[in-house]
Amino acid sequence: MAKTFQEQAEINIGMIGHVDHGKTSLTQALSGKWTDTHSEELKRGISIRLGYADATFYRCDKCKGSEAYTSHEKCPNCGGKAKKLRKVSFVDAPGHETLMTTMLSGAALMQGAVLVIAANEDCPQPRTVEHLMALSISGVKNIVVAQNKADLVDRDAAIKNQAKIRKFLEEYGYKDAPIIPTSAPFGTNIDMLIEAIEEHIPSPKIDPKKELRMYVARSFDVNRPGAKIKEMKGGVLGGSIMQGSLKVGEEIEFGPGFGGKKMATKCVSLGTAEGELDKAGPGGLIAIGTELDPLLTRNDQLRGHVVGKKGTLPEATTDVRLDVKPFRRVVEKETEIKVNETVVLTIGTMTTIGTVVKSAGGKLKIASKIPVIVERGQTVAVSKKINAQWRLAAYGVAV
């Protein structure tokens, strides 16, 4: 099959917010595609789906205002040819979003976000709060709010709801985020939403000198059952490159590996949902084809691992030490972290259990149950069980 070389997206934009507020519908309206988390067919074609879609944004030079923004080459306003702005990747809030720890590992892949809030419900809803907290912890500063389902409320209710959203955003440190009223099924204000994304969520600057680091979000076996040995393809690692770049043919390693032992392999292909790449960098979701035994990558078994060029990853450790950062909001007493307590650590896309060894003076020392790759300066989220649920209790920077 002929390879179609694809251009990579420049940024991963999370679609976050409470269940049923319209994330999937808006992603579709923004990109003209449905997000589909479970497409076996796509997995086989060495592509990867976290529940996301790529979109290319354009602006028409001849038209003025928001109407000039579109996700089509042809200007919907004047019918002329619009100018390409950039390609972005929309990343869904992963899992069934009831788990804060899952959301935290998903937020590690986002560099900006559209926070979807339904206009016909009180604000904030529990997931709305958790998603925004996860974002702020992973350092995502640029967000745009879609006040969706605007078609379901009258003007007065929309204004009152918007005031509540504004207050909520201020409390969590996002006071400058624009709020765009939208209606996904009617396509209302999708142009304004694209304009706001273009203006408020710039693509991250890429430092080409940094070492390759990719967070693995999925891993899988792309072979059909019963495939002949000599036709078998190696295991595939799916995720997002956070820094550095990778070329087909290069030697790589991933960790923590098994029992804390890093494993080496080779990058034999680089795929996106739309085609193949010869070289990949940050932005969008990438599938690395490897020479690994596909048994190792089956069923997302390597989720949470970190990929680097061979010989560049730090050793895995069970000793995690953090300088705790204060939350934007006052932390409730119940989130206090005590010695000997069991906690869940989220480091990049890795989620693991640990025991608190020391907790004093804004410092935490945690013994992770399994060795993990944690690099100095990396943000680590700590969740603890509160009322039978893992809830975010603290976060800090690895020292």
Decide: is 31 part of the binding site for Zn ion (CB under 5 A). Answer: no
Quote the CA–CA distance of 250 and 64 in Å, as a whole number: 47
Q: How many CA atoms lie within 13 A of 7 on its CB side?
A: 8
Nearer to ligand GDP (CB atom), residue 21 or residue 49: 21
Nearer to Zn ion (CB atom), residue 80 or residue 185: 80
Quote the CA–CA distance of 264 and 257 in Å, as a whole number: 9
Contact of residue 185 among ligand GDP, Zn ion, none (CB under 5-8 Å per partner type):
ligand GDP
Closest CA to 294 of 342, 227, 244: 227
Contact of residue 148 among ligand GDP, Zn ion, none (CB under 5-8 Å per partner type):
ligand GDP
Contact of residue 23 among ligand GDP, Zn ion, none (CB under 5-8 Å per partner type):
ligand GDP
Closest CA to 10 of 81, 86, 66: 86
Quote the CA–CA distance of 22 and 311 in Å, as a whole number: 44
Contact of residue 63 among ligand GDP, Zn ion, none (CB under 5-8 Å per partner type):
Zn ion
Decide: is 194 part of the binding site for Zn ion (CB under 5 A). Answer: no
In the region spanning residues 72 to 91, those forming contacts with Zn ion, defined by CB under 5 A, are 75, 77-78, 80
The answer to whether the Cα torsion of 41, 43, 49, 53 is positive or negative is negative
Contact of residue 87 among ligand GDP, Zn ion, none (CB under 5-8 Å per partner type):
none
Nearer to ligand GDP (CB atom), residue 116 or residue 350: 116
Q: Applying CB under 6 A, which part among 128-136, 143-151, 310-318, 388-396 lies near ligand GDP?
A: 143-151
Find out whether 106 and 137 touch, Cβ atoms under 8 Å. Answer: no
> Beta strands 69-70 and 143-148: pairing type?
unpaired
3-state DSSP assignment of residue 8: coil
Quote the CA–CA distance of 47 and 289 in Å, as a whole number: 10
Structure tokens at 361: 């003076």
3-state DSSP assignment of residue 193: helix
Beta bridge partners of 346: 351, 381
Q: How many CA atoms lie within 13 A of 198 on its CB side?
A: 22
Pick from 136, 148, 223, 351 the residue near ligand GDP by CB under 6 A.
Answer: 148
Nearer to ligand GDP (CB atom), residue 51 or residue 308: 51
With a CB cutoff of 8 Å and minimum separation 6, the contacts of 270 are: 246, 247, 248, 276, 277, 278, 279, 280, 286, 287, 288, 289
Quote the CA–CA distance of 290 and 8 in Å, as a whole number: 20
In the region spanning residues 103 to 122, those forming contacts with ligand GDP, defined by CB under 6 A, are 116
What is the helix (H) or strand (E) element at residue 31, kind and residue range? helix 23-31
Decide: is 63 part of the binding site for Zn ion (CB under 5 A). Answer: yes
Q: Applying CB under 6 A, which part among 21-29, 256-264, 311-319, 324-332 lies near ligand GDP?
A: 21-29
In the region spanning residues 25 to 54, those forming contacts with ligand GDP, defined by CB under 6 A, are 25
Q: How far is the CB of 60 from Zn ion (least distance, A)?
A: 3
Pick from 6, 183, 290, 297 the residue near ligand GDP by CB under 6 A.
Answer: 183
> Beta strands 179-181 and 143-148: pairing type?
parallel
Q: How far is the CB of 151 from ligand GDP (least distance, A)?
A: 5
Decide: is 127 part of the binding site for ligand GDP (CB under 6 A). Answer: no
Decide: is 184 part of the binding site for ligand GDP (CB under 6 A). Answer: yes
Pick from 6, 13, 22, 127 the residue near ligand GDP by CB under 6 A.
Answer: 22
Please give the residue ranges that form the binding site for ligand GDP (CB under 6 A). 19-25, 116, 148-149, 151-152, 183-185
* Positions in the binding site for Zn ion (CB under 5 A): 60, 62-63, 75, 77-78, 80
